Amino acid sequence: MKKVAISIVLTAALLTACGKSGGSMDHSGMTQEAGSTQAGNVQAQFKLSGDKTMPKQDTTITIKIQDKDGKSIDKFDTVHEQQMHFIIVSKDLSFFNHIHPDYKGKGEFTVTTQFPTAGDFKMFADITPTGMGAMNKSQWITVQGDLPVQKPIEPDASLTKVVDGKEVTLSIDHLMAGMELNLNFNIKDAQTKKPVTDLQPYLGAVGHVVILTQDAENYLHVHPTDEKASGPDAKFMTTFPHSGVYKIWGQFQQNGKVFTVPFVVKVP
């Protein structure tokens, strides 16, 4: 019985970029500092159904959020329409999944999902316990079976990608570590090259962006700067904590369908 609940205390580095000029209402009244300090007072237990986790099989993940004494934390702010955003990535970051566990009460969330292949995956629970600020808790897990070929994470030569008939160009105003910067996703129809102006709100904003360091150790906090926009530009703000390679996933919605655009950048 290998599959026991694993406690994480104070692991994930909390990296927030909730700039005052960001125009985000999500964290009103909470300072960046409050989030950072409080993260150490919160622990998460991740538990997976079954004795072994196998690829392409339904797996129920239970996440229990507790204070450092093991008492359940019961209240969570709704941020971007959800009480928990849950991200799963493969170790090589080629697989990305963004899902929303159901809140069952008493600090317990559950979600049923599948892992695509064998190998190591990292799960991130992105939460805002009421009064404690935004934070994330994470856990690596191993899915049994033969390892697929790992794809190297290489910075993109071009920051223009075509996904689901959309041509998306990412621009970053100054690619530097340690300072707040703006990311702009410009979205065109890949065929006609016409600007896309009918993006629909996704999770209450123009889009949702997740950024991880190459080793998946750091999960960056990213804020939309103009939540009400509908394209062709979708703007966000973040801070890269140090130089290195980062993977960025932008998620947007048009005609009721969400599309996900990945980019890899090297921050000098």
Binding site for Cu ion (CB under 5 A): 85
What minimum distance in Å lies between the beta carbon of 98 and Cu ion?
5
Q: Which is nearer to Cu ion, 64 or 85 (CB)?
A: 85
Least distance in angstroms from the C-beta of 246 to Cu ion: 19
Please state the separation of Cα 154 from the chain's center in Å: 20
Count the neighbouring beta carbons within 10 Å of the beta carbon of residue 120.
15
Distances (CA, A) of 153 to 138, 192, 214, 239, 246: 21, 31, 7, 20, 9
3-class SS of residue 224: strand
> CB-based contacts of 158: which residues, under 8 Å, 6+ apart?
none
Question: Which CB, 55 or 96, lies closer to Cu ion?
Answer: 96
**What is the smallest separation between the CB atom of 82 and Cu ion, expressed in angstroms?**
5
For 161-215, give the secondary structure using H, E and C.
EEECCEEEEEEECCCCECCEEEEEEEEEECCCCCECCCCECECCECCEEEEEECC
Output the smallest distance, CB 251 to Cu ion, in A: 9
Q: Are strands 135-143 and 13-15 parallel, antiparallel or unpaired?
A: unpaired
Cβ proximity to Cu ion: between 85 and 247 the closer is 85
Residue 48, both tokens: 């997976």
Closest to 251 (Cα-Cα) out of 163, 153, 127? 163
Which lies closer to Cu ion via its Cβ, residue 85 or residue 122?
A: 85
Which of residues 85 and 137 has its CB atom nearest to Cu ion in the complex? Answer: 85
Considering the complex, what minimum distance in angstroms separates the CB of residue 222 from Cu ion? 12
For residue 92, give the amino acid letter. Answer: D
**Min separation Cβ 127 and Cu ion, Å:** 11
Q: How far is the CB of 85 from Cu ion (least distance, A)?
A: 3
DSSP one-letter code for 20: G
* Nearest to Cu ion of 85, 188 (CB atom): 85
Q: Closest CB to Cu ion among 17 and 125?
A: 125
Q: Which residue is nearest to Cu ion (CB)?
A: 85
Side-chain half-sphere CA neighbours of 206 within 13 A: 24
